[in-house]
Amino acid sequence: MSWRNIRKNYNMFNNLLIILNILISYLFLVTNRIRFRAIFELIMLPLLIMIYVWGSRARKLRAIRYFYTYSTVSLFLFFIGIGILLSKYNCANLGFIDTRELTFKTQNIVFISFLVPFLVKLPICPFHL
Protein backbone atom coordinates (compact mmCIF):
# COMPACT_ATOMS: atom_id res chain seq x y z
CA MET A 1 0.00 0.00 0.00
CA SER A 2 1.57 3.25 -1.04
CA TRP A 3 0.83 6.71 0.27
CA ARG A 4 -0.09 7.87 -3.25
CA ASN A 5 -3.00 5.43 -3.36
CA ILE A 6 -4.20 6.46 0.08
CA ARG A 7 -4.23 10.14 -0.91
CA LYS A 8 -6.76 9.43 -3.66
CA ASN A 9 -9.31 8.11 -1.16
CA TYR A 10 -7.99 9.75 1.99
CA ASN A 11 -11.42 10.26 3.58
CA MET A 12 -12.48 6.68 2.95
CA PHE A 13 -9.24 5.35 4.42
CA ASN A 14 -9.60 7.51 7.55
CA ASN A 15 -13.26 6.55 7.96
CA LEU A 16 -12.36 2.87 7.76
CA LEU A 17 -9.63 3.34 10.36
CA ILE A 18 -12.07 5.15 12.67
CA ILE A 19 -14.66 2.38 12.25
CA LEU A 20 -11.98 -0.20 12.92
CA ASN A 21 -10.87 1.60 16.10
CA ILE A 22 -14.46 1.91 17.35
CA LEU A 23 -15.09 -1.80 16.76
CA ILE A 24 -11.87 -2.79 18.51
CA SER A 25 -12.71 -0.55 21.48
CA TYR A 26 -16.22 -1.97 21.69
CA LEU A 27 -14.83 -5.50 21.44
CA PHE A 28 -13.24 -5.18 24.87
CA LEU A 29 -16.39 -3.74 26.47
CA VAL A 30 -18.84 -6.58 25.75
CA THR A 31 -19.44 -9.33 28.29
CA ASN A 32 -21.38 -11.86 26.20
CA ARG A 33 -19.30 -14.33 24.17
CA ILE A 34 -21.69 -14.41 21.23
CA ARG A 35 -21.74 -10.62 20.96
CA PHE A 36 -17.95 -10.64 21.39
CA ARG A 37 -17.56 -12.98 18.41
CA ALA A 38 -20.00 -10.93 16.30
CA ILE A 39 -17.94 -7.79 16.88
CA PHE A 40 -14.78 -9.83 16.31
CA GLU A 41 -16.10 -10.79 12.86
CA LEU A 42 -17.37 -7.27 12.08
CA ILE A 43 -13.77 -6.12 12.34
CA MET A 44 -13.18 -8.21 9.22
CA LEU A 45 -15.34 -5.94 7.01
CA PRO A 46 -13.21 -2.75 7.16
CA LEU A 47 -10.08 -4.87 6.77
CA LEU A 48 -11.46 -6.61 3.68
CA ILE A 49 -12.41 -3.25 2.16
CA MET A 50 -8.93 -1.91 2.85
CA ILE A 51 -7.32 -4.96 1.27
CA TYR A 52 -9.60 -4.74 -1.75
CA VAL A 53 -9.17 -1.00 -2.36
CA TRP A 54 -5.50 -0.52 -1.47
CA GLY A 55 -3.99 -3.98 -1.95
CA SER A 56 -1.74 -4.87 -4.86
CA ARG A 57 -3.64 -6.30 -7.81
CA ALA A 58 -1.85 -9.61 -8.01
CA ARG A 59 -2.19 -10.52 -4.36
CA LYS A 60 -5.37 -8.91 -3.06
CA LEU A 61 -7.83 -11.55 -4.26
CA ARG A 62 -5.71 -14.34 -2.82
CA ALA A 63 -5.33 -12.43 0.44
CA ILE A 64 -9.10 -11.88 0.68
CA ARG A 65 -9.77 -15.57 -0.01
CA TYR A 66 -7.30 -16.70 2.67
CA PHE A 67 -8.59 -14.13 5.15
CA TYR A 68 -12.19 -15.21 4.62
CA THR A 69 -11.43 -18.95 4.70
CA TYR A 70 -9.37 -18.83 7.88
CA SER A 71 -11.93 -16.59 9.60
CA THR A 72 -14.79 -18.90 8.67
CA VAL A 73 -13.00 -22.02 9.93
CA SER A 74 -12.08 -20.27 13.18
CA LEU A 75 -15.69 -19.10 13.55
CA PHE A 76 -16.91 -22.71 13.52
CA LEU A 77 -14.31 -23.68 16.08
CA PHE A 78 -15.37 -20.79 18.32
CA PHE A 79 -19.02 -21.83 18.06
CA ILE A 80 -18.08 -25.36 19.12
CA GLY A 81 -16.69 -23.91 22.36
CA ILE A 82 -19.76 -21.75 22.88
CA GLY A 83 -21.99 -24.73 22.12
CA ILE A 84 -20.22 -26.79 24.79
CA LEU A 85 -20.68 -24.04 27.37
CA LEU A 86 -24.32 -23.53 26.42
CA SER A 87 -25.17 -27.23 26.42
CA LYS A 88 -23.46 -28.05 29.72
CA TYR A 89 -23.93 -24.83 31.69
CA ASN A 90 -26.61 -22.83 29.80
CA CYS A 91 -24.54 -19.63 29.84
CA ALA A 92 -22.36 -17.70 27.38
CA ASN A 93 -21.31 -14.84 29.65
CA LEU A 94 -17.61 -13.93 29.92
CA GLY A 95 -17.69 -13.83 33.74
CA PHE A 96 -19.17 -17.32 33.88
CA ILE A 97 -15.92 -19.27 33.83
CA ASP A 98 -14.67 -17.42 36.91
CA THR A 99 -17.68 -18.51 38.98
CA ARG A 100 -17.96 -22.20 37.93
CA GLU A 101 -15.57 -25.07 38.07
CA LEU A 102 -15.21 -26.78 34.73
CA THR A 103 -13.83 -30.27 34.28
CA PHE A 104 -10.29 -30.53 32.98
CA LYS A 105 -11.44 -31.96 29.64
CA THR A 106 -14.03 -29.18 29.17
CA GLN A 107 -11.46 -26.53 30.08
CA ASN A 108 -9.03 -27.82 27.46
CA ILE A 109 -11.65 -28.07 24.69
CA VAL A 110 -13.07 -24.61 25.41
CA PHE A 111 -9.58 -23.09 25.73
CA ILE A 112 -8.45 -24.48 22.38
CA SER A 113 -11.70 -23.51 20.66
CA PHE A 114 -11.32 -19.91 21.90
CA LEU A 115 -7.54 -19.66 21.39
CA VAL A 116 -7.30 -20.78 17.75
CA PRO A 117 -9.56 -17.98 16.37
CA PHE A 118 -7.35 -15.39 18.04
CA LEU A 119 -4.22 -17.00 16.66
CA VAL A 120 -5.76 -16.87 13.18
CA LYS A 121 -6.36 -13.11 13.43
CA LEU A 122 -2.98 -12.36 15.04
CA PRO A 123 0.23 -12.64 13.01
CA ILE A 124 1.44 -15.82 14.71
CA CYS A 125 2.99 -18.68 12.72
CA PRO A 126 1.77 -21.25 11.60
CA PHE A 127 -1.81 -20.02 12.05
CA HIS A 128 -1.47 -16.77 10.10
CA LEU A 129 -0.49 -16.46 6.45
Percent of the chain residues topping a pLDDT of 90: 4
- Spatial CA neighbour of 108 closest among 90, 72, 74, 84: 84
DSSP assignment letter at 43: T
Count of CB atoms situated within 10 Å of the CB of 125: 7
Q: Rounded to whole angstroms, how far apart are CA atoms 31 and 22?
A: 16
pTM, two decimals, is 0.65
64-95 pLDDT, tens per residue?
888 888 888 888 888 888 888 888 878 777 67
42-68 pLDDT, tens per residue?
888 888 888 888 877 778 888 888 888
- Spatial CA neighbour of 50 closest among 25, 75, 15, 24: 15
The domain locations on the chain are: 3-121
